[in-house]
Structure 1
Amino acid sequence: MFMKTLVSMVALSGITILMARFAFTLPEIEGRIDTTVLPKAMNGPLADALIELEAVHKGRTGIAQLQNGADAFAARILLTDVAISSIDAQYYIWRADLTGTLLLDALVRAADRGVRVRLLLDDNGTTGLDNEIAALVAHPNVEVRLYNPFNLRTFKMLSYAFDFFRLNRRMHNKSFTVDGRATILGGRNVGDEYFGTGSTPLFVDLDVLAVGAIVSTVAADFDRYWAAPSVHPAGSIVGLHKDTDPISKRLAGFKNDLQMCEYRSILDHSKIVAALAAGELNLEWTTAILVSDDPIKGQGAVPREELLATRLTEAVGEIQTRFDGVSAYFVPGAAGVKAFATLAARGVKVQILTNSMEATDVLLVHAGYAKRRKTMLESGVSLFELHSQAASGAPADHLGAFRSPKASLHAKTFAVDGKRIFIGSFNFDPRSTALNTEMGLMINSEQMAQKLHKAFDEGMVGLTWRVEQRNGRLVWIDSYTGSMSVSEPGQSALRNIILTIVGWLPVEWLL
């Protein structure tokens, strides 16, 4: 009787899913015209600042790190404000908060000046923005497209119930290219938490501003995604806009917000674009490689040799002496553990920084990391876990963004042999490897690589715990006080139960 009931329930569920799939289909992509990147601007502030500079450094790329959230925010707004021909922006998450609204407003101002704006968003990260997207679509100088859009607009997450395997594949890329002259890419999405202001917990993150040779490569990669089969014109998904100027209305709602004052101060005091225009920005001119997934990954399996992870391994080359990695969501899996263990066995110094249980914003991902932690340590890999806030009394020059009341790591970067550094969207986890599309720059830079190595060498004082195994037990050693704890920071009875259960389940491929 039980089996008969179970079979009936499974059959009913299957029929329901099939009916939902037929009832809530996506519109066909018909008559889509795939615009392409415009030529580099030959006049305007960016062209005036960069044409001669690029001629001096012909064939090379100028890189400036944007480690500070305020600079990262200001760079996007101020570049938008000086654009004269084109803006191509690609993001996994675009929040309907103050940061997201300010940047949307800046894009509209640019479009009003005649700048062509193309905005490519992963639909998983557009919650609450359908009206604003529809208004953008209605602008003659703006095109918006959505990657793997959801079937439902209200209660969109219910779409996973009947279209899980398509919707489980997301576009995790982040890039922002202006006038074909400058681009920003790295780990930051668009949202208050990524730029270090407001009441939300801070995501400690990393971007780079790049000019020169790499910009045309990033622009061409944007075109590849813009024309991908998984990308739909937003108008056919969100419909016609029903509100007069929803972006201005949303922005007006922040008028008396203290955070608005903070952002205006950031913009008033930022010198990043002015320094670029004056030739005074501290750019390192070097060579860099863009490593990016094929957008076809959004439709299903991609040959292993075509995955970003494989091409990134090739771009890194043979690792000789050390590998220092920062990964917000570190789920190495059996293959990753083996790869890092092989490096350690060859005498390579391998160190990883990830979120602690108390700092992570995704407990399930931490479960995927925790189940591999002991094996990693036994293989010779050193592990550091981030405090959710800086230790009281820690040296001020170590704090940086951690002056925030609470912080969570979001950066994705690693340095190799003091010579090369990767900065991008790729996490060391199965999702980045096999499900989501990713991108990033592999940069030949002793300066940036050594800077990351130095942070690990100094133990990131006041910011981390070093995880070790003693007498068969894990211990957490505070990098500032040296005190040792046998209890995992941030643990609770409920969290421990969740970690144990998730560790048993065959879900690592989803994390």
Structure 2
Amino acid sequence: MQTFADIWPAAAATIQFAAMLGAAGHAMLTKSDVRAAAGWVGFILLVPFLGWLIYLLFGVNRIQRRARELRGIRRGAALPRPQASGPPAERGEQRRELENLARLGQKLLPERFEAGNTVDVLENGDETYPAMIAAIDAAERSLALSTYIFNNDKAGHLVLDALSRATARGVRVRVLIDGVGSWYSRPSIIPELHKRGINYARFLHSFMPWQMPYLNMRNHQKILVADGRHGFTGGMNIAEGNLVRENPGKPIIDYHFRVEGPVVAQLMRTFAHEWTFTTGEILDGPDWFPKIESLTSDDAHIISRALPGGPDQGINPIRWTLLGALTEAREAIRIVTPYFLPDTTLATVLSLAAMRGVQVDIVLPKTNNLPFVDWAATPQLAWLIDAGCRVWKTTGPFEHTKLMTVDGIWSMVGSANWDGRSLRLNFELNLECYGSAFADRLNRIIDSKIAGANAVTYDEIANRALPVKLRDAAIRLASPYL
């Protein structure tokens, strides 16, 4: 009679063989990058027992599947979809090649391009928070606020007090805070919202670690819409570090944008979608979605649309729009971002643009609040510089600014960074804009940053000490998840 000691080696070998074949087959069927598939298959086959286990833990992309499952389970009733429209009509200041970008964009996302908008640039929290609070205080029917970070500090209480006043006068207030971002300050602002009776919710929040994806699928969008008509968006959180004129301990340079015109309805629609997903409540009717006509003032020259992106989408419209803009560029590409870890495709298209004569400027902060992101980015900067891109590091406080212009006509602003977390793992919102006057305004900001920045040279990167090079190369291996 066989004992367990007799059969366990054969059983272990059978389990190992089955698990190895299953993991290798999964890698071959699901990895779109041939090199990634080949690498994982080799690792699984050549590392007994541990190979397939490590693949199951770290190699299986569960983000998109989990995001879709969550959306399907918790979305509730479907929200009305916008009608598709063609690309913006060609105007005097718009080049025909960029109409191709608009056609691409329309295929990526059905949100229509809206004419007759204004987008005002607000510098730091010193201009942004007073403008937001004025809009909150003027609201008569509804307020929708979505933010990643809402700190329990001076800036947070300025906004909190305004929301409290709006709630007291009967305005329908909805506040959506990311489940991770709500804990960036100690104590959290959440008890204060609760105490004041402000209607709030936390996006994908749970105290149970197995129910809360701490690093992935975060709601990174920044939206404020008052009465369904007056909008704000960009990359700025609610934190006193943004009140630069008051000399905070850790100042943050950033820009936000006040939006007027029909595109505000798209900001509201994005908020309503996430609010319904989180709470089950459907926001509808004229309080949230009044009819907004195109503005006719002299400065209402921007054709725009909102670009929401997230891991539940098969094709991320923000990333693909960036690729389209880089491809269509003929004269200049200008990028300002705090975190620059483009994937191989984005980096390749940037390099190709520079090599065919487009002037590519990439402006990054010299002092990053996440040093390891800067370490991971450095090796890739050398390759981009070698291809002809110009890289600049700003001096002074940390730059959280996110701006992009192409050929002085097309612009993109919003919450997304140039990294895998924004373009693959988180829910983001950018604003795509056509209009030379607005692009000129952003380019003047970029010019001022470059004027006070230091150029990064290829030799500077190549001459780093060997331990530093090894550190940066090791951290770069984790760049898809930073």
Smaller-chain TM-score bracket = 0.5 to 0.7
Secondary structure of 1:60's aligned partner: strand
Unpaired runs of at least 5, structure 1: 15-26, 38-57, 153-158, 235-278, 390-406, 476-485
Q: Which residue of structure 2 aligns with residue 320 of structure 1?
A: 330
Secondary structure of 1:474's aligned partner: helix
Partner of residue 434 from structure 1, selected from 408, 424, 427: 424
Q: Which residue of structure 1 aligns with residue 235 of structure 2?
A: 187
After superposition, the Cα gap between the structure-2 partners of 1:164 and 1:203, relative to the gap in structure 1 and judged at 3 Å, is same
Q: Which runs of 4+ in 1 moved over 6 A?
A: 29-37, 493-497
In the TM superposition, what are the counterparts of 1:385-464 in structure 2 within 5 Å? 385-387=393-395, 389=396, 407-454=397-444, 460-461=450-451, 463-464=452-453
Q: Which residue of structure 2 aligns with residue 331 of structure 1?
A: 341
Partner of residue 461 from structure 2, selected from 465, 474, 496: 474
**Does the 8 Å contact 1:291/1:311 carry over to 2?**
no
CA offsets per residue over residues 27-60 of structure 1, 9 Å max, x none?
9x999988999xxxxxxxxxxxxxxxxxxxx951
Q: Which residue of structure 1 aligns with residue 181 of structure 2?
A: 125
- Offset of residue 370 of structure 1: 0.9
Q: Which residue of structure 1 aligns with residue 478 of structure 2?
A: 507
Letter of the 1:215 counterpart: V
CA offsets per residue over residues 122-173 of structure 1, 9 Å max, x none?
111112133124335xx3xx43221111325xxxxxx3xx457575221111
Q: Which residue of structure 1 aligns with residue 376 of structure 2?
A: 368
In the alignment, structure 1 residue 148 sits paired with structure 2 residue 121: no
In the alignment, structure 1 residue 134 sits paired with structure 2 residue 124: no
Q: Give the distance between the partners of 2:131 and 2:150, measured in 1 at CA.
A: 16
CA offsets per residue over residues 316-361 of structure 1, 9 Å max, x none?
87112110000110112322221101111222111100122xx100
- TM-score normalised according to structure 1 size: 0.64
CA offsets per residue over residues 240-271 of structure 1, 9 Å max, x none?
xxxxxxxxxxxxxxxxxxxxxxxxxxxxxxxx
CA offsets per residue over residues 89-133 of structure 1, 9 Å max, x none?
111111111111221121011011010001111111112133124
- Offset of residue 424 of structure 1: 0.5
**Does the 8 Å contact 1:205/1:411 carry over to 2?**
yes
CA offsets per residue over residues 436-490 of structure 1, 9 Å max, x none?
11111111221232344345557733x31101124xx438xxxxxxxxxx779xx
**Does the 8 Å contact 1:192/1:198 carry over to 2?**
no
Q: Which residue of structure 1 aligns with residue 301 of structure 2?
A: 285
Letter of the 2:189 counterpart: L
Q: Give the distance between the partners of 1:33 and 1:429, measured in 2 at CA.
A: 31
- Offset of residue 202 of structure 1: 1.6
Q: Give the distance between the partners of 1:314 and 1:85, measured in 2 at CA.
A: 39
After superposition, the Cα gap between the structure-2 partners of 1:386 and 1:332, relative to the gap in structure 1 and judged at 3 Å, is same
Q: Which residue of structure 2 aligns with residue 223 of structure 1?
A: 272
Secondary structure of 1:180's aligned partner: coil
Q: Which residue of structure 1 aligns with residue 3 of structure 2?
A: none
Q: Which residue of structure 1 aligns with residue 15 of structure 2?
A: none
In the alignment, structure 1 residue 173 sits paired with structure 2 residue 173: no
Q: Which residue of structure 1 aligns with residue 390 of structure 2?
A: 382
Q: Give the distance between the partners of 2:472 and 2:461, measured in 1 at CA.
A: 15
- Offset of residue 74 of structure 1: 0.4
Letter of the 1:469 counterpart: Y
RMSD: 3.7
**Does the 8 Å contact 1:177/1:215 carry over to 2?**
yes
**Does the 8 Å contact 1:383/1:467 carry over to 2?**
yes
Query: Percent identity among equivalent residues?
Result: 22
- Offset of residue 366 of structure 1: 0.9
- Offset of residue 418 of structure 1: 0.7
After superposition, the Cα gap between the structure-2 partners of 1:420 and 1:307, relative to the gap in structure 1 and judged at 3 Å, is closer
After superposition, the Cα gap between the structure-2 partners of 1:415 and 1:31, relative to the gap in structure 1 and judged at 3 Å, is closer
Secondary structure of 1:189's aligned partner: coil
Q: Give the distance between the partners of 2:346 and 2:327, measured in 1 at CA.
A: 17
In the TM superposition, what are the counterparts of 1:222-261 in structure 2 within 5 Å? 222-228=271-277, 231-232=278-279
